[in-house]
Amino acid sequence: MAGFWETYAKLSSPPMYDLSGADPEALKGMGRTMLDSATIVGLGGEIEAGIRAPFSDKTFQEIDSEINQEQAAFKENYPAEYTTSSGLGMLPTIAVGAPAAITRVVGGKVLPNVAFGTGIGGLSGFVGGTGEGESAEQRIQTGKEEIAPMAVGTGVVTAAMMGAIKQPHNGRQANE
């Protein structure tokens, strides 16, 4: 069994970014998942369908349905890649807007911000989840399944951001 440093050296050496042997379906699924997550409410499939529809003989709904089916298969076949891609897609959006928006709406106290972030996370999880199903029943069910992970994740991220905002900088509080 390889030790930590051997594994680290192997993963840190070229061709660490060589994707020539990667499964094209996994790469496509990862890109779609990142776009879905970057929009926060999971509109990546709709964006892709809207771009592809004018250049296709299929309708927007047909393309969107096809994307949803492919993404469901990607989520099932590549759960680790799905989770990682989802997190990577959220990072830029959250890092840019969330700290300023939340503290402006709620104020500088940690607990109200975490509660607000958790609520917004649950709501966005539901809204984003409803974009994944085909029928109304599937959309509602998927929406319900996404509430808890998004609420908890957003609460944790908000708590971490509030902790960073509250850290003293050069002897002063960040929100003075």
pLDDT one-digit tens code per residue, 92-140: 777 666 666 666 666 667 777 788 878 888 887 787 777 776 777 887 8
> Among residues of the chain, what percentage have pLDDT more than 90?
15
Give residue 95's pLDDT: 66
Give residue 137's pLDDT: 84
For residue 1, the 8-state DSSP code is: -
Distance between CA atoms of residues 168 and 82, nearest Å: 36
Three-state DSSP class for residue 103: helix
Residues 146 and 129 sit within 8 Å (Cβ to Cβ): yes
| Residue 13 pLDDT > 70 | no
| Residue 176 pLDDT > 90 | no
Q: Tell me what the mean pLDDT of segment 12-17 comes to.
A: 62
Give residue 119's pLDDT: 84
Whole-prediction pTM: 0.53
Q: What average pLDDT does the chain have?
A: 78
Distance between CA atoms of residues 102 and 98, nearest Å: 6
pLDDT band at 57 (very low <50, low <70, confident <90, very high): very high
Residues 26 and 78 sit within 8 Å (Cβ to Cβ): yes
| Residue 174 pLDDT > 50 | no
Which span out of 38-42, 74-78, 143-147, 158-162 was modeled with the highest average pLDDT?
74-78
CA distances from 159 to 52, 57, 68, 115 (A): 39, 48, 32, 9
| Residue 175 pLDDT > 70 | no
Token pair, residue 139, equals: 């959309």
| Residue 16 pLDDT > 60 | no
